[in-house]
Amino acid sequence: MSPMVSTNDLKNGMTLEIDGVLFSVVEFQHVKPGKGGAFVRSKIRNLKTGAVLDRTWRADEKIEQAIVEKKDMQYLYRNGNQYVFMDSSSYDQIEVDASSLGSAVNYLVEGSNVQLVMHVNDVVSVELPASVELVITESEPGVQGDRVSGARKPATLETGLTVQVPLFVNQGDKVKIDTRTGEYITRA
């Protein structure tokens, strides 16, 4: 049984368990209307699907707080649908199903360091750095004379993710990608 926490004590990033599903608090606001009881308005993110929900609670309502552990891990290699990580302190290796990693698989390259968020030995999410450097494996060359400001072309990265990049970026270049938006930042 997870500990109970009051809605008055919500914090951003706190993990809650609601009907067996884990949610992370994205933002919250205490509201005291002129009439009626105070309440807490919140946005919570489903850790499995990434969907963000609006949820309103009565002030001082009790909800379950999920105790999660963050472990520093290094991504080693992919084995079919399993991703193999090594604990950076104990050197223990664990296999994580691709479905537990969500969109993070688009940014994982062998040797990269991440934080795995664990709940009762299950991986519930992956915390990536704000940006990663990936190599372009496939891209059409920029057309000579096409100098339209801000023009973009598709490029496939080493993880299989396709992003829009400026025309001067070529196959084999290493680029920096924002892991929150999946957008090109700069050439590395």
How do residues 27-77 score in pLDDT, each as one tens digit? 999 999 888 889 999 999 888 777 899 999 999 899 999 988 989 999 999
> Is 99 in the same domain as 150?
no
> Is 159 in the same domain as 112?
no
pLDDT at 142 over 90: no
> Is 54 in the same domain as 99?
no
> What residues form DSSP beta bridges with 156?
138, 162
> Is 146 in the same domain as 181?
yes
Q: What angle do CA 42, 44, 46 make, to 5 degrees?
A: 165
> Is 32 in the same domain as 54?
yes
Q: Which residue range forms the structural domain that includes residue 32?
A: 4-65
Q: How far is CA 24 from CA 27, 126, 163, in A?
A: 9, 13, 28
Per-residue model confidence (pLDDT) at position 149: 67
Answer yes or no: pTM beyond 0.85. no
> Is 147 in the same domain as 178?
yes
Q: What is the mean pLDDT of the chain?
A: 88
Given 65, 82, 100, which residue is the final one in a domain? 65
φ/ψ (deg, to 5) at 7 = -65, -20
Q: Return the closest-CA partner of residue 115 out of 41, 13, 31, 43.
A: 13
> Is 11 in the same domain as 60?
yes
DSSP code of residue 1? -
Amino acid at 66: A
> Is 79 in the same domain as 107?
yes
Given 24, 48, 65, which residue is the final one in a domain? 65
Q: Are 123 and 162 in contact (CB under 8 A)?
A: no
Q: What is the domain-level CATH number for residue 117?
A: 2.40.50.140
> Is 174 in the same domain as 140?
yes
Percent residues over pLDDT 90 in the chain:
52
> Is 145 in the same domain as 182?
yes
Number of folded domains that form the chain: 3
How do residues 92-115 score in pLDDT, each as one tens digit? 999 998 888 888 889 999 998 999
Count of other CB atoms within 10 angstroms of residue 185:
14
> Is 52 in the same domain as 74?
no
Q: What is the domain-level CATH number for residue 51?
A: 2.30.30.30
Given 127, 148, 165, which residue is the final one in a domain? 127
> Is 154 in the same domain as 166?
yes
DSSP code of residue 36? S
DSSP code of residue 158? T
Residue range 5-32: mean pLDDT, rounded: 90
Residue range 154-173: mean pLDDT, rounded: 91
pLDDT at 145 over 70: no
Per-residue model confidence (pLDDT) at position 92: 92
DSSP code of residue 7? G
